[in-house]
Structure 1
Amino acid sequence: MPPARRGRTDIDLSDPVSNRPDDRLPSIEDVQALHELMDVGVLMCMGDGTPYHANSAACALVVGQAAGDYLSALLALLPAEALASARRTGRWYGEVTLDDARVVQVHAYHHGSNGRGQFMVVFIDVTETHAREQEQQRRHEESQQTLARLAGAQEQLLQAEKMASIGQLAAGVAHEINNPIGYVHSNLGTLQEYLHGLFAVIEAYERALRAPDPRALQAEIDDMRSRFDLDFIRSDLPQLMAESREGIERVTEIVRNLKDFSYSDRDESWRLADLHAGLDSTISIIWNELKYKVTLEKDYGALPLVQCLPSELNQVFMNILLNASHAIAERGRVTVATGVRDDQVWISIEDTGVGIPEDVQQRIFDPFYTTKPVGKGTGLGLSISYRIVRKHGGNIEVSSSPGNGACFRITLPIRQPDKSLA
């Protein structure tokens, strides 16, 4: 005899002998007893959809029905298409919500054809599972909202620190602009006096040309030339104009550096930038903070254009340069160096200041940590700098010892593998 196939007995249904009752086969009572042991509800239906058996777990779903109506009540829980779909494909899965808010997962199976065979419907109470999933979803949504609020707060802190830095530098920038504007204004006053004298002499010449005897006004003209010192005006006027032009160019340069320093695309697009230009514009903007006690040295290497957010890196340079200046008590040196190694560029900013103790180095990039007196620092400068550098896929390290200054070294990838250029 061939081996039995899965889901079948080894009884030959065409053989009358084999169709005789076999004590080894379970009776309907045995199957129903097994159903009663199950924690899930089971409903059995004829091939035409007429229910004929349900276990206690299934009947518990429709408690309160009149006697004998529980089978119909269970069948009524199924959507209209459930049995028809199970008849076509052999199975149907769905989920229903009872009147008491319990959530039940329903699996309907069909075996047989031509109206014969039967259905088995399994009911699984998933109310607790569903509640846990909803709770997890609610917590996930709350977490997303919290992350969004944190991201917003972080962006606000970034802007607040940037505005605080700009406010701190405003007086210095104003001073740097006032110097050239001051002597341009003074030169314009002198130029006005020169023009007054020149126009007076020109008018005297015009009167002499119209007079019957021009020689009669020669003495007056010579007196005016001497009084207004035309020879000095002739020699001083080109120098005065050159100084004024230089002052205007200095103001133009400061404004251009300020624009370069604060450059920011609205969509924060990444672009190729010259880091040396960013360093120079930043130094120019904060020069009023540095020049009275810092000797600045530059040791620039040959850098390629770097894919970055220029204004954010400029803020990093500004924070570190200002910290270097603040670390120098009276007079010292700050050295800015750059170079390339493999597919990265590096920028180091080293000072000869008081240095940073080892225990402070462990916390120097923590938000709101500062060694400055109250009201002198927010404690966000280096923390935001660290975040910006990490956002660029780079790293920032500090090496220092008390009394021997400090060196901040920034490494950045030349290209961002996951970013497109503007």
Structure 2
Amino acid sequence: MSTPDFASLFPLPSADVLRALGERMREGLLLFDGKGNTSLVNRAARQMLDAEQSPVLALGAKLARFLPPAAMPQAKESGSWSGSLPLGERVVILQLYHQPGEGRDVYLALFRNLEGQEDYERELQQRHAELRQAYLRLNGTQEKLLQSEKMASIGQLAAGVAHEINNPIGYVHSNLGSLQEYLRSLFTVIEAYERALRAPDPKASIPEIDDIRSRLDIDFISRDLPQLMAESREGIERVTRIVRDLKDFSYSGRDESWKLADLHAGLESTINIIWNELKYKVTLERQYGELPMVECLPSELNQVYMNMLLNAGHAVAERGHIVVSSGVSGDEVWVEFKDNGAGISPELRQRIFDPFFTTKPVGSGTGLGLSISYGIINKHHGRIDLDSTVGEGSRFRIILPIRQPKG
């Protein structure tokens, strides 16, 4: 026994029947394609769009002008979009559905008037929840982007940091080899003294001891050993400082709270990390003023310092000069980075803080450094002033409040 065909039992209604059903609906109904061409609209939709006399074909395009920019792309991506929409003096709830067709996209819009206080409150609560979710997603994305840029920056500097660590480790290793020889010589002299003390006539062993001391150059060892130990200690402290600075710099800041910090300490920590990237092409001059402790997120400001210093270094073609200065002005502090590099043209100055904008060759920069720096300083209720002349160099001045505004 064959199964009856569904379409034969329940044939699809004609277009006239669909239009008649649509006219009985209290909700607005509008069927249109991606170009705004309308194929079906009912009276309620015309009233809500205030378009009783408008040509049917143009109503889809008219609705598209009222929609938020993300509505149709979101409906196309996920199949639907919903939201409140102001139409004249009324606010309607709009459900927008998408269906790909043969050679064109088809959209179905259903309108419903907001009626009564309960509807408004329900809609506001829903929109508030959606906005909160969007804010949380945006905030999480910003944190991930900041951490990603931090780690990308450290990755670019990894070879230089390794070089900075290898140098002190190298001479500490060499010094340990010398120390081993020195200890062997000293133990030989100690053994000679012990033999002399056990001998019947200790004074008779003095020429032998003097010979051993002269042959092993004990006088030189006694002079060189303190210097060798001091160099080794300095090397270990240098490695410890680099590792500590790297740890502080790469810290994500997710749980970092606002605190009073010494901006100069953060500057020195950052310079310590990136110095290998700069020292072969620039001289660095410090002109620090007396700064108070500043309420800030130190790890995030370190990211800004690094971006500023690296950009200044990249602006210098072969040999150049960078001046890092600081000072106080009223209830604000400032940190300035000045280079004598290529400078920035007025056209590019308008775009340098845009995300992903970079003048570096493809693969040499993400275009996020200055954009992230701008966001961090804005988060601190500060600003970045730029003064640049093509062929003479640039000056970036970061201005921060000493205490964050309350509330």
Residue in structure 2 matched with residue 179 of structure 1 by the alignment = 167
- In 1, the alpha carbon distance for the partners of 2:136 and 2:115 equals 27
Q: Which amino acid aligns with 1:202?
A: I
Whether the 8 Å CA contact 2:151–2:250 is kept in 1: the answer is no
Cα separation, partners in 2 of 1:143 and 1:238, compared to 1, 3 Å: closer
For each residue in 1:353-395, what CA deviation from the matched residue of structure 2 results, as whole angstroms up to 9, or x when unmatched? 1111111111100111111112111111100000000000011
Relative distance call for 1:263 and 1:163 in structure 2 (3 A) is: closer
State how far apart, in whole Å, the 2-side matches of 1:268 and 1:130 are: 46
- The yes-or-no answer on 1:163 pairing with 2:151 is yes
Matched, 1:395 2:380: no
Change (3 A) 1:272 1:264: farther
AA in 2 matched with 1:314 = N
The alignment status of 1:356 with 2:344, answered yes or no, reads yes
Query: Match for residue 280 of structure 1?
Result: 268
Is residue 284 of structure 2 the alignment partner of residue 296 of structure 1? yes
What is the CA–CA distance in structure 2 between the aligned matches of 1:210 and 1:363, rounded to whole Å? 85
Maintained 8 Å contact 1:264/1:310: no
Which residue does 1:232 correspond to in 2? 220
- Give 1:48's aligned residue: none
Q: Please name the residue that 2:114 is paired with.
A: 129
Write the distance in 2 (CA, Å) between the matches of 1:385 and 1:363. Answer: 14
Tell me by how many angstroms 1:411 deviates: 0.9
Question: How far has the Cα of 1:248 moved from its partner?
Answer: 2.5
- Measure, in 1, the Cα distance between the counterparts of 2:227 and 2:113: 90
The aligned counterpart of 1:326 is 314
Match of 2:393 among 405, 408, 413: 405
Q: Deviations over 1:319-348 (max 9, x none)?
A: 011110111111100011111112111111
- What one-letter code is carried by the residue in structure 2 that aligns with 1:277? A
Residue in structure 2 matched with residue 147 of structure 1 by the alignment: 135
Q: Helix, strand or coil for the counterpart of 2:187?
A: helix
1:268 aligns to what?
256
- The equivalent of 1:308 in structure 2 is 296
Q: Equivalences for 1:47-62 in 2 at 5 Å?
A: none
What do the CA deviations read for 1:282-339 (whole angstroms, capped 9, x no partner)?
1112111111111111111221111111111111011011110111111100011111
TM value normalised by structure 2: 0.66
2:337 aligned counterpart, secondary structure: strand
Q: Who is 1:28 aligned against?
A: none
Report what 2:182 is aligned to: 194
Q: Structure 1's 129 and 264: CA in aligned 2 closer, same or farther, altered over 3 A?
A: closer
The match for 1:76 is: none
The separation in 1 between residues aligned to 2:330 and 2:350, in whole angstroms, is 28
Q: In structure 1, how many angstroms separate the alpha carbons of the residues matched to 2:267 and 2:393? A: 21
Q: Deviations over 1:104-127 (max 9, x none)?
A: xxxxxxxxxxxxxxxxxxxxxxx8
> Per the alignment, in what secondary structure is the counterpart of residue 333 of structure 1?
strand
Q: Work out whether residues 147 and 252 of structure 2, in 8 Å CA contact, stay in contact via their aligned partners in 1.
A: no
**Aligned position for 1:81:** none
The code of the aligned residue for 1:282 comes to T
Provide the C-alpha distance between the structure 2 equivalents of 1:407 and 1:245, rounded to a whole number of angstroms: 39
Structure 2 runs not aligned, ≥5 long: 1-111
Distance 1:289 1:148, change over 3 A: same
Paired residues in the alignment total 293
What is the rounded CA distance, in whole Å, between the counterparts of 2:207 and 2:256 in structure 1? 72
Alpha-carbon distance between aligned partners in 2 of 1:418 and 1:303, rounded to the nearest angstrom = 22
Equivalent-residue separation in structure 1 for 2:290 and 2:259 (angstroms):
19
The equivalent of 2:4 in structure 1 is none
Is 2:236 the partner of 1:251? no
Q: Secondary structure at the match of 1:231?
A: helix
Provide the C-alpha distance between the structure 1 equivalents of 2:202 and 2:401, rounded to a whole number of angstroms.
80
Matched, 1:241 2:229: yes
Deviates more, 1:236-245 or 1:215-224: 215-224
Cα distance in 1 for residues equivalent to 2:227 and 2:125: 76
- Please say if 1:381 is aligned against 2:369: yes
1-structure distance, mates of 2:194, 2:211:
16
Shift of 1:412: 0.8
Equivalent residue for 2:194?
A: 206
Write the letter of the residue equivalent to 1:349. F
Residues 1:304 and 1:136: Cα distance change in structure 2 (over 3 Å): closer
Question: Unmatched 5+ residue regions in structure 1?
Answer: 1-126
Measured against aligned partners, the alpha-carbon deviations of 1:235-260 in whole angstroms (never above 9, x if no partner) come to 22222122222223333333444455
Provide the aligned C-alpha RMSD in A. 2.5
SS in structure 2 of the partner of residue 207 of structure 1: helix
SS of equivalent to 2:114: helix
Deviates more, 1:160-169 or 1:128-137: 128-137
Q: In the aligned structure 2, how far is the partner of 1:250 from the partner of 1:146?
A: 45
What code does the residue aligned with 1:330 have?
E
Q: Which residue of 2 aligns with 1:341?
A: 329
SS at the partner of 1:388? helix
CA distance in structure 2 between the partners assigned to 1:411 and 1:235 by the alignment: 51
Change (3 A) 1:357 1:351: same
In the alignment, the residues of structure 1 paired with residue 163 and residue 157 of structure 2 have an alpha-carbon distance, to the nearest angstrom, of: 10
Alpha-carbon separation, structure 1, partners of 2:278 and 2:359? 20
Alignment TM-score, normalising by the size of structure 1:
0.64
Equivalent runs, 1:78-97 vs 2, <5 Å = none
